[in-house]
Amino acid sequence: MMVSKEDNNYIYFWVGKNIKKYRKLKGLTQNELAQKCNLSKGYISDIENNTFKTFSLNTLYLIAKNLDVHIRQLFDDLP
């Protein structure tokens, strides 16, 4: 599913896709990432699966840190 840049949910779509991409590259399950971040598995799932929840920059920083990526990478458009 593609989301238009004009859509208010555009950033949530890409951040979720990037979190999923980097989580899988790291070989982590949603549950493992959630535990590392002290978040619920459902919260990680919601972020990754276009259940456009809002989340804080602090949450993104925590996720990026636990995925060993720079937070900026979570905002990159996927090919």
pLDDT in tens, 17-67: 999 999 999 999 999 999 999 999 999 999 999 886 788 999 999 999 999
- Comparing 43 with 2, the larger pLDDT belongs to 43
Greatest CA span in the chain, whole angstroms? Answer: 34
Tokens coding 19: 């979190």
pLDDT in tens, 34-43: 999 999 999 9
* Residue whose structure tokens are 């890409």: 14
Domains of the chain and any CATH numbers: 10-75 (1.10.260.40)
* 5 Cβ neighbours under 8 A, 6+ residues apart: none
pTM of the predicted model as reported, rounded to 2 decimal places = 0.88
Q: Hey, what are 71's tokens?
A: 């937070």
